[in-house]
A and B are shown apart, each in its own frame.
Chain A
Amino acid sequence: MRDVVISVEKLGKHYVVGQQRDPYGRLTEMLWGLIRSPAQALRRMRAKTREGIWALSDVSFDVERGNVVGVIGRNGSGKTTLLKVLSRITEPTVGRATLRGRVGSLLEVGTGFHPELTGRENVFMSGAVLGMRRAEIIRRFDEIVEFAGVERFLDTPVKRYSSGMQVRLGFAVAAHLEPEILFIDEVLAVGDADFQKKCLGKMSELGHGGRTILFVSHSMPAVLRLCERALLLDHGRLVTAGPTQAVVRAYLESDLGRTSERRWDNRSTAPGDDVAQLRSVRVTAAHGYPTDEVDITEPIDIEVEYWSARTDTVRPSAYFHAFNGQGVLLFASSENSTDDWRNLPERPGLVRSVCRIPGNFLAEGLVSINVAIATYNPERIHAVEHDAVAFYVVDRTSGEGVRGEFVGDWPGVVRPKLPWTVTWIPKSNDVASEADDSSRTLGDRQWSIGERFGTQGE
């Protein structure tokens, strides 16, 4: 029997654009208009409600009890709107959804935190806001504090916490919620790498506990690891739903997953904080123009432009992670090992960094790039953009590539063209016996070292 706990039918959410823009001054504008020409003003008011965008339209799906479902799609595809509607933060314009069970939503880390309150007080505040009962918070208090690792600072106001500590405490509270249905939005984009891993672990634990989870994420590896099923949204519509592998592949291989260029001209919407903000990310091939398809033998430039509030102590640097279509992290690269970066002027300004990925290095298929800007000691991520750009590497089997004349499937997550030294070995018995001797003596030596270690230990 199918045990459906989330049932969504033709859900739609319409946003009035005029409504969001300029909440100030509308009253006077409206009143003045009403006085001057009432009919025209009324008509305009009615028209205003019609224009706008459908952030979500005609979305229908069912989720069975205990499923962990990933929701993926480009920025602005309606993922967050879907979670907001389902967690009742905003009302749908049309359609309906039925949820069977206690619902919890986690759209942000540290919901309900007040900077003036202490860590202890904020655990209670945030717990209550997220729907925990007082008795429940008391019962799990020690567990939460231990998970966050902030025992020593429990009676310190949260405003004096580092941002990492705030995130840890916020997530710790949320991770101990016990709803039957949980909505999670991209909360893993923050915090240090170790803690992200801990959160992912905790979340998969939640999933196995029979809880139903809807998880919005840009991180394909996280979605692939945590979710059995996934939904793909685009422009507010449901494109596909099904097993995660298939949906992620559909996303990455469709045009939805590819972009050669991203720009944020407006700093208020650009990802980042007051230390560093992204301005643009571009993929360019040999011809110097943005491209989303590159020949496997050609070098590729990843260009990142960012606003940097650099001083002699604050030194933001850009780095990126390259993933393949299966969500495997291929490699990471950072500018902070370069002299160019070390020699940047120590004052705020714009920085353009270009990283060249050599030809004959990546494998065929889709490569997506997560870009971030961080400062180190202590490690802090200031800006992050998942799937900032993505491109397709094609092998035209011209004979120049790694595969040479072989035309079948070539395995491996990268396809570097490595130097091979190929020489003809003349037939000789001496060479073989020499090699045999050396390996035996090496083995003996290792054995004796190990023995000595053992006796010293006792």
Chain B
Amino acid sequence: MIAHQQRASMGSDHVSHIEPRHGWVRLDLRELWSYRELGYFLVWRDLKVRYKQTAFGALWAVIQPFTLMVVFSLFLGRVGGIAPDNIPYPLFAFAGLVPWTLFAQSLGGASNSLVGASNLIQKVYFPRLLLPASAVASYVLDFFIALGVLGLLMLYFAFPIPITIVWVVPLTLLAVATSLGVGIWLAALNVRYRDVRHAVPFMVQLLLFASPVAYALELVPVQWRGIYLLNPMAGVLEGFRWALLGRESDPPVDALVASLVVTTFILILAVGYFRRVERTFADVI
């Protein structure tokens, strides 16, 4: 009886207005928060489905960056001057590949998140931002597993764990924000232009060469560095290397600031674009 009354009173508070919106629509954080449980379920579903009926399960989170690390080490590790001499090359490559994998996987997952859920979008309402956001979040768990393996690798190479490791936390946030920004934008674009689905894997491959994953940022000629740093992942990757393997050298301040600025810019534009076209998703998808 009491529960019923509570619900009734809650209901009278709960008034929703449905009307056409025009132009840019602000981000409704309160609504997103009220749907947090659905977000949690979407992440949970993505993880369950990803590793169901697989023999290796969550090991797949590590297999990909680890294999790339081995390949890089075999072909590039012998070449001198591509990475600092005082860091074992496998460790150097893996420290870049862990955040890179987060970015690459998130982009793939997020860009297909809306089209893959077209049935849901046409049948039920919820803030659509949850879909790309939960796709990215599901890869963050993979990222933590890979990060654990990186720790083991550091122990194996008897690399001292530095104090700067605390910077991994804000750097992870930056990596997530970058993935989220680009992912949200691609997800919304993919609803109208399925070209995105073909372009993303290709773009990620190209970006791998335009990011300091297999090589150090120092290798980029000084006159190109400004343009190079427009790639927000450059700062993230250099930041991770510095925090984990930097041996208390100076942090790559210019790269980090550039990454922060570009990421903020992308994120704001992406959310704005997403909110603007969101209202037609159900009609166009």
Contact = CB atoms under 8 A, between A and B. Distances in A.
Interface in A379-429: none
Contact of B279 (A24, A87, A91, A157): A91
A98 interface: yes
Given A19-B283, A23-B193, A114-B49, A92 B19 contact: yes
Contacts of B124: 87, 89, 105, 107, 111-112, 129-130
Contacts of B53: 116
Contacts of A102: 10-11, 14
A23 B284 contact: yes
A15 interface: yes
Contacts of B18: 85-86, 88, 91-92, 96-99
A11 B233 CA distance: 46
A222 interface: no
Interface residues of A, number: 47
Contact of A112 (B20, B37, B120, B193): B120
Interface in B40-58: 41, 45, 48-49, 52-53
A117 B48 contact: yes
A26 B193 contact: yes
Query: Which of A88, A128, A133, A180 has most chain B Cβ within 10 Å?
Result: A128
Nearest to A8: B18
A239 interface: no
B225 interface: no
A90 B279 contact: yes
A92 B16 contact: no
> Secondary structure of the B side of the interface?
helix
Contact of B125 (A24, A89, A98): A89
A27 B198 CA distance: 14
A64 to B, nearest CB: 14
A188 interface: no
A167 to B, nearest CB: 15
A293 interface: no
A121 interface: yes
Contact of A180 (B11, B19, B122, B192): B11
Interface residues of B, number: 38
Contacts of B16: 88, 98-99, 103
Given A90-B282, A178-B7, A111 B120 contact: yes
A84 interface: yes
Nearest to A209: B4
B22 to A, nearest CB: 10
B123 interface: yes
A90 B11 CA distance: 23
Contacts of B12: 100-101
Query: Which of A86, A88, A133 has most chain B Cβ within 10 Å?
Result: A88
A20 interface: yes
Contacts of B37: 128, 133-134
B68 interface: no
Given A88-B125, A89-B122, A108-B123, A116 B49 contact: yes
B123 A95 contact: no
Interface in A338-352: none
Contacts of A116: 48-49, 52-53
Contacts of B48: 116-117, 121
Contacts of B14: 100-102, 180
A94 interface: yes
A257 B21 CA distance: 36
B193 A111 contact: no
B38 interface: yes
A93 interface: yes
Contacts of A124: 41
Interface in A1-34: 15, 19-20, 23-24, 26-27
Contact of A100 (B15, B52, B194, B280): B15
Contacts of B282: 84, 89-90
Given A15-B283, A105-B124, A116-B48, A98 B195 contact: no
A157 B48 CA distance: 12
Contacts of A92: 18-20
Given A20-B283, A23-B193, A27-B193, A91 B21 contact: yes
A91 B283 CA distance: 9
Query: Which of B16, B49, B119 has most chain A Cβ within 10 Å?
Result: B16
Contacts of A114: 45, 49
Interface in B192-209: 192-195
A444 to B, nearest CB: 58
B269 interface: no
B168 interface: no
A302 interface: no
Given A88-B18, A98-B17, A100-B15, A129 B284 contact: no
A24 B193 CA distance: 6
Contacts of B52: 116-117, 157
A70 B21 CA distance: 29
Contacts of A89: 121-125, 282
A125 interface: yes
A111 B11 contact: no
A221 B212 CA distance: 68
Contacts of B121: 89
Interface in A100-149: 100-103, 105, 107-108, 111-112, 114, 116-117, 121, 124-125, 128-131, 133-134
Contacts of A90: 279-280, 282-283
B45 A125 contact: yes
Contact of B17 (A94, A97, A134): A97
Nearest to A55: B283
A117 B52 CA distance: 8
Contact of A128 (B11, B41, B119, B122): B41
Q: Which 7 A-B pairs have the closest CB atoms?
A: A96-B19, A101-B11, A88-B125, A128-B41, A91-B279, A97-B18, A90-B282
29 contacts: A19-B284, A24-B194, A24-B195, A26-B192, A26-B193, A27-B193, A27-B195, A84-B122, A84-B282, A85-B18, A88-B16, A89-B121, A89-B124, A89-B282, A90-B280, A91-B18, A91-B21, A92-B20, A98-B18, A99-B18, A101-B11, A112-B124, A117-B49, A121-B45, A125-B45, A129-B38, A129-B126, A157-B52, A180-B7
Given A19-B284, A125-B45, 17 more contacts: A23-B194, A84-B122, A87-B124, A89-B122, A92-B18, A96-B17, A96-B18, A100-B15, A101-B12, A107-B123, A116-B48, A124-B41, A129-B41, A129-B120, A129-B126, A130-B124, A134-B41
